[in-house]
Structure 1
Amino acid sequence: MTADPLLLLGEVDRATARLLRNAAGLTAADLAQPSLLPGWTRGHVLTHVARNADAMVNLLSAARTGEDRPAYASSEARAADIDAGAGRDPGRQLADLEASAQRFTEAAEGMPADAWAAPVETRQGLLAAAVLVWSRLREVEVHHVDLSAGYRAADWSAAYSQRLLYEVVSDFNARTGVPAMVLRCDGEARELVVGERDGAPMVSGPAGELAGWLIGRTPGEGLTVSPGSLPTPPNWR
């Protein structure tokens, strides 16, 4: 999968279109049902995805102008906005989701080439603005699964799943106390190692199933492990 933010925008657009199609079929009763995220309904998930788009617009603006503009006013304001929007009717939810996604696309397309290298303050620390398009794609794809409305980690493309796997493995290797494991995607010779390889179980399966399990979105039923049983990955972000 490309790292070029403008080329990656096409992937964001396609992922967003899939989410919008799915969300368009949800009733008010559907939106009030629990999502995969503890304490959040489907309405919370859709509102979060919309507010995330606006947060990314804020960071792109900061990179473009050099102004100090945070993604969210505060953690408290972020949570309050999500709670406030969660109970809206389906039409308002869908319109907000679509309009916020369009604002993100327009902001990304309007970035001067040199602004992509500007550092922006994210929840993971200072990062180049160029990574924001990938971050947006990850948000849309992961939270589409969290919607618990028929879209699964197994539906992710192999390229997206493998990039997510590399990112999560790198994150886990920067922590302490993460169980050792060796990951192998079906059809791929390369292995990803978390911790020490010696004695670590080999976990194999489709890239999407591996990625979904590693970030806590699937129980790993489609995976094989040898020796022993599946390790328990830590919470991801």
Structure 2
Amino acid sequence: MTDPVRDLTTLDEATARLLTVAGTLDDAALAEPSRLPGWTRGHLLSHLARNADALLNVVAGRPMYASAEARDADIEAGAGRPAETLAEDVRLSAARLATALSEVTDWEAVVELRNGVTDRLARVPFRRLVEVELHQVDLGAGRELEDLSPEFTDAENAFLADRFTGHPDVPPLLLRPAGSPALTSGRAPAPGEEPLTVTGAPADLLGWLAGRRAPA
């Protein structure tokens, strides 16, 4: 169940952790590859700053990004800045978004995200939380998927399972994360077709669904 007030509190805590880590990375560390192919750690911090501003646009009823090309160009342009500048950009952009979210009065409003995707405004704090939590892992600076809270991992697994539900290119799936509720995803099974059962630790399933880990 979506609880934006709870998610805002969790987001504040996750952002504080991210800023602590960002403050430990010098110019050389930011120039090193992240765990996302083609991106340095500097790219990740640049993306996190611009994502905060993009979600601020969403809250204000403006287009999230001017275009996909502009989004990519802004990330690239900011990736090579000095470590102190990048960390400050992440801090200030996160603070701007936090202020805007704290002033929301209608969480049921429908907003438009990238590529025409719509969602309730109440989901925006969680969407930002996903960016902060997963990309801190992507930094490869000490935090792993196993360090994420069980509550976040279960919620993100459910979110990703729902995201792929009905997708024609995804086979019927029955996801069984150990110790957590089972989930279904993928396209509807054909008559007589059994869903593919995927089991594993919740963190491993999250890594698989989010494209961070290959199946064992």
> What aligned pairs does 1:49-64 form with structure 2 within 5 A after superposition?
49-62=48-61
1:91 aligns with 2:84: yes
- The residue identity in structure 2 corresponding to 1:80 is A
- Tell me which of 147, 155, 158 is aligned to 2:147: 155
| Counterparts of 2:185 and 2:93, CA distance in 1 | 37
Unaligned runs of 5+ in 2: none
1:7 aligns with 2:6: yes
- Deviations along 1:24-53, one digit per CA (max 9) or x if unpaired, are 111211111111222111100101001111
Identity of aligned residues (%): 43
> What aligned pairs does 1:114-125 form with structure 2 within 5 A after superposition?
114=106, 116-123=107-114, 125=117
Q: TM-score, normalised by structure 2?
A: 0.90
| Counterparts of 2:118 and 2:196, CA distance in 1 | 34
On the 8 A contact 2:44/2:135 being kept in 1, the answer is yes
> What aligned pairs does 1:195-206 form with structure 2 within 5 A after superposition?
195=186, 196=189, 199-206=194-201
3-state SS in 2 of match to 1:203: strand
> What aligned pairs does 1:71-220 form with structure 2 within 5 A after superposition?
71-111=64-104, 113-114=105-106, 116-123=107-114, 125-188=117-180, 190-195=181-186, 196=189, 199-220=194-215
| Counterparts of 2:207 and 2:84, CA distance in 1 | 30
Instruction: Indicate the residue corresponding to 2:25 in structure 1.
Output: 26
Q: What value does the CA root-mean-square deviation take over the aligned residues?
A: 1.8
Moved more, 146-155 or 87-96: 146-155
Q: How many residues align?
A: 211
| Counterparts of 1:12 and 1:128, CA distance in 2 | 17
Unaligned runs of 5+ in 1: 63-68, 222-237
- The residue identity in structure 2 corresponding to 1:166 is A
Alpha-carbon spacing, 1:25–1:220, altered in 2? closer, same or farther (3 Å): farther
Q: TM-score, normalised by structure 1?
A: 0.82
3-state SS in 1 of match to 2:39: coil
- The residue identity in structure 2 corresponding to 1:167 is F
Instruction: Indicate the residue corresponding to 1:234 in structure 2.
Output: none
On the 8 A contact 2:171/2:196 being kept in 1, the answer is no
| Counterparts of 1:28 and 1:83, CA distance in 2 | 16
| Counterparts of 1:208 and 1:18, CA distance in 2 | 19
| Counterparts of 2:46 and 2:7, CA distance in 1 | 23
